[in-house]
Amino acid sequence: MTLPHWRQGTPAVLCVAGPHAIPVSTAVRLGDHRLAFALGQRREALERLRADPRVALCLLGTELAFTAHGTAAVVRDPLEAAPVVGVELSVEQVQDHLADGRTEMLDGARWRWLDPKAAGADPAIAAELASLT
């Protein structure tokens, strides 16, 4: 299965070795088997990802619930748009959590930036991640 399409800002949860999970708001689809996201430079999840690149990223949005499993690598450190790093996930498997038709996602988690500086940087981060082709 290839990666589905999702709206920018769809909430996700990155799971790295540990297990250790962290919310991610910047996931961008780069192709059928590639996606990118940003992580803060001082995140424990980033340290764990560098030690063991096997990760899972679960996205939950309107009419969408899947987990992308694969190998992640830092591809830009830092991004030009903000003091975060760009991470690319090479997707080996997509697990569609709605495939059996028993449930549907009516909505994703609703969130917003409270920090105006972070809110202003978000579109530039998404654009830079999308350019990592």
Ordered domains of the chain (ranges, CATH): 12-130 (2.30.110.10)
Rounded distance, CA 125 to CA 54, Å? 23
Q: With pLDDT > 70 as the criterion, what percentage of the chain qualifies?
A: 100
Enumerate residues 6+ apart whose C-beta is below 8 A from 28: 8, 35, 36, 37, 126, 129, 130
* pLDDT-based confidence at residue 132 (cuts at 50, 70, 90): very high
- Report the alpha-carbon distance of residue 16 to residue 129 in Å, rounded: 20
Which residue's entry shows tokens 């996201």?
Answer: 37
Q: Outline where DSSP puts E strands in the chain.
A: 12-16, 20-24, 28-31, 34-40, 54-61, 64-76, 84-96
In this prediction the pTM is: 0.96
In this structure, the strands spanning 28-31 and 64-76 are unpaired
Across the chain, mean pLDDT equals 96
pLDDT of residue 80: 96
Q: pLDDT digits over 93-116, tens only?
A: 999 999 999 999 999 899 999 999
Tell me the per-residue pLDDT of 59-94, one tens digit each, with 9 for 90 and over.
999 999 999 999 999 999 999 999 999 999 999 999
